[in-house]
């Protein structure tokens, strides 16, 4: 039975510990297909998703973000943005690449959660090293690394979120 969107949102959390079990190609492709369908400004789709699965590439990527929990992930998806092809708002020139990448990344995390997989947004990493590892052209930026796998524990941490009254106003 599929969970509704509120249940999915409530169940998704940042996983910081993974089983060594690999995610099947079938599940990984379901996550990537859901991500491919994410909306973007003017449908520019200024993104690329690099799946890191080989032991050599995982080892090098782990040097970009040296955390013990991060090293437990069996796979990673590096979400990259292309600033040269992203839509820029005419009124002020605002580049929507980062917004589009964020939407796509959230599609990854929610699709993964719907399939019983865990993920975590990682943005605090060595960008130049990651870019070199992936061999990205100048206009491409590795924006987010998403470790993906089966959570090591079934314990779901509680979420500390502001009350709706603190973040919503009506006029």
Q: What is the mean pLDDT of residues 122-148?
A: 96
Domains of the chain: which residue ranges? 18-129
* Measured distance CA(12)–CA(57) in Å, rounded: 27
Tokens at residue 43, please? 């449908």
Residue 2's pLDDT is 58
**1 Cβ contact list (under 8 Å, min separation 6):** none
pLDDT band at 154 (very low <50, low <70, confident <90, very high): confident
The residue ranking higher by pLDDT, 82 or 159, is 82
Residue 3's pLDDT is 64
Phi, psi of 66 (to 5 degrees): -85, 80
**DSSP alpha helix (H) spans, the chain:** 5-11, 25-36, 55-62, 97-114, 127-134, 164-167
Residue 18's pLDDT is 98
Write the pLDDT tens digit of every residue in 22-37.
Answer: 999 999 999 999 999 9
Q: Do residues 61 and 76 make contact, with C-beta atoms less than 8 angstroms apart?
A: yes
Q: Which of the following CATH numbers is that of domain 18-129: 3.10.270.10, 3.40.50.1820, 3.30.2290.10, 3.40.109.10?
A: 3.40.109.10
Dmax (CA) for the chain in angstroms is 55
Residue 68's pLDDT is 97
Write the pLDDT tens digit of every residue in 71-130.
Answer: 999 999 999 999 999 999 999 999 999 999 999 999 999 999 999 999 999 999 999 999
Residue 155's pLDDT is 85
What percentage of the chain has pLDDT greater than the value 70? Answer: 98
What percentage of the chain has pLDDT greater than the value 90? Answer: 91
Q: Half-sphere exposure (CA, 13 Å, Cβ side) for 40?
A: 25
Tokens at residue 47, please? 């993104």
């Amino acid at each position: 039975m599929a969970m509704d969107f509120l249940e999915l949102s409530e169940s998704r959390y940042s996983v910081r510990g993974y089983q060594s079990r690999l995610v099947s190609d079938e599940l990984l492709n379901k996550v990537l297909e859901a991500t491919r369908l994410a909306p973007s400004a003017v449908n520019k789709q200024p993104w690329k998703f690099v799946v890191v699965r080989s032991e050599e590439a995982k080892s090098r990527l782990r040097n970009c973000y040296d955390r013990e929990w991060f090293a437990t992930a069996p796979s990673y998806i590096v979400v990259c943005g292309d600033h040269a092809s992203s839509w820029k708002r005419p009124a002020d020139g605002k580049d929507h690449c980062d917004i589009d990448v964020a939407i796509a990344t959230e599609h990854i995390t929610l699709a993964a959660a719907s399939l019983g997989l865990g993920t975590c947004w990682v943005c605090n990493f060595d960008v130049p090293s990651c870019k070199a590892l992936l061999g990205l052209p100048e206009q491409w930026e590795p924006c987010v690394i998403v470790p993906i796998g089966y959570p090591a524990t079934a314990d779901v941490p509680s979420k500390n979120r502001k009350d709706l009254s603190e973040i919503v106003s009506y006029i």
